[in-house]
Amino acid sequence: MNEILALSGVAQAALIRNRKISPEELFQLHVERIEEVNPGIHAVVEVMPFSAPQDGPFRGVPFSIKDSIEVEGTVCSAGTWGYRNAPRSTRDATLVARLRAAGAVPVARTNLPDLLFAFESNNLIFGRTNNPYDHSRTSGGSSGGEAALIASCGSPFGLGSDAAGSVRLPAHYCGIASLKPTSGRLARTGHVPPPGGWVEGLWQIGPMARHVEDLQALMPILLGPDELDRTVIPMPYPGVPLENLRVAYFTDNGFAEPDLETHIVVSGAGRALGGVESRPPGVERSHELEMRFLGADGGDGVREFLTSIGSDRTHPLLDSWLEKLEEYRTDLEGFASCWALIDQLRASMHAYLSLYDVILSPVSGSPALLHGTSIEEQNFKGFSYTMTHNLTGWPAAVVRCGTSTTGLPIGVQIAAAPWREDIVLAVARRLEEIFGGWRPAPDAILVNP
């Protein structure tokens, strides 16, 4: 593998500025890498032709996009059957346009689950994405194609989206870094399905990268209202020194006990930052509250959307999700009760911030799962760690801090107060420095189907 491919996007941009490589040459290197690794990982659904870059800080640097975010001239399928032959997009999603304006060049669209509803990336149109470190295991979902491609050096960074952990879990499984910004931080215009309904407060589009410095460089480029997504709040983006941050960490949320290796990695990260072992009140209810919130109508809204777009075939993982949502069907009184409990969780978590600036925790209960097992109840409970910060709307990042005895990445989740993405990324950068962050999978695994 060409060593340039393993560099951050920031470093690749510097090579272009210093005329060490041209944008066309860098783009071609990434295309060749995609051709090398994609037969094994099945992360890319379309490679795009080179387009002349605009001037900007990332001039000439390729980036990838989850196939639920529109790119002009391409079909945005969201992995669902009814969109397999959808009309080509006539415009870029807002965040894609902002990356282009910064000089970045789209290189590939990446795989995901059917209508984004699974913690694995597998659908009836493009099939399943494999984990670069072990093809018998999933890369996660719903931004699993992004994570697998970035981890394999087919793209330095890209865009995913997250309503229950969908940029953080794949980053954990594939050993890269990612950020779910504060709810209302980034414009979601051009996402499929579009924002709307009571669940829209749970999700954000978020950047993913091998190196935290790219996430730090991308956030100022991506943020700000676009006059189309009414939920975006024009909050300032501050900067913070790492000194004197009060760090808490916990390894068990009281609902889904993680495996021993995850416990050891998270504890090590917390101690490395001088943290105090402390668990925020109420996190043990995260799974219940997220599922009650998503499933208040028993999944009818999802079914109606599928019907409206002609998705008369659905993937078994989506079917299993809908079965789980059916268990949480309720009436108006039950929904009001759920909403009140979520407000209580947000209030108690906010009060906890008077004690700590940063909270470290597992990303899930274990490293990457075997294909097809994410829906099993014990595994599914493990996703409660990311759900917590969708419910609160807090920013949360993931960075690799360890490796299992079987060679799988283990990430740590870092959360902070609303609008303090600068804090979570600064801490993620420090943990990356201490523990090494991303490291390549053996090429033999990367290239074998």
Catalytic residues, which ones? 66, 142, 166
Give Cβ neighbours of residue 283 (< 8 Å, ≥ 6 apart). 250, 253, 254, 255, 345, 384, 388
| Distance separating alpha carbons of residues 449 and 446, to the nearest angstrom | 8
Would you tell me how many other CB atoms lie within 10 Å of the CB of residue 396?
30
Structure tokens at 243: 């000194």
Q: Is 289 helix (H, G, I), strand (E, B) or coil?
A: helix
Q: 30, 49, 40: which is closest to 153 by C-alpha?
A: 30
CA 93/CA 101 separation, integer angstroms: 12
- Alpha helices, DSSP H, located in 175-285: 212-222, 260-272
Place of tokens 């670069």: 132
Q: Are 226 and 91 in contact (CB under 8 A)?
A: no
Q: Map residue 388 onto helix, strand or coil.
A: helix
Q: Which helix (H) or strand (E) holds 148?
A: helix 144-151
For residue 316, give both structure tokens: 């078994």
Q: Do the Cβ atoms of 438 and 157 come closer than 8 Å?
A: no
Locate 232 and state its tokens: 């975006």
**Phi-psi region at 332: left, alpha or beta (left = phi > 0; alpha = psi -120 to 50):** alpha
State the burial class of residue 164 (Cβ atoms within 10 Å of its Cβ: 0-12, 13-18, 19+).
buried
Interatomic CA distance for residues 183 and 181, integer angstroms: 6
How is residue 61 written in tokens? 């640097």
Q: Measured between alpha carbons, how far is residue 422 from residues 2, 242, 288 in Å?
A: 32, 10, 30
CA gap 440, 343 in Å, rounded:
42
Tokens representing 190 are: 């051009």
Cα–Cα distance between 270 and 251 in angstroms, integer? 10
- Closest listed residue to residue 400, CA positions, set 362, 365, 373, 370: 362
Give the tokens for residue 318: 């989506």
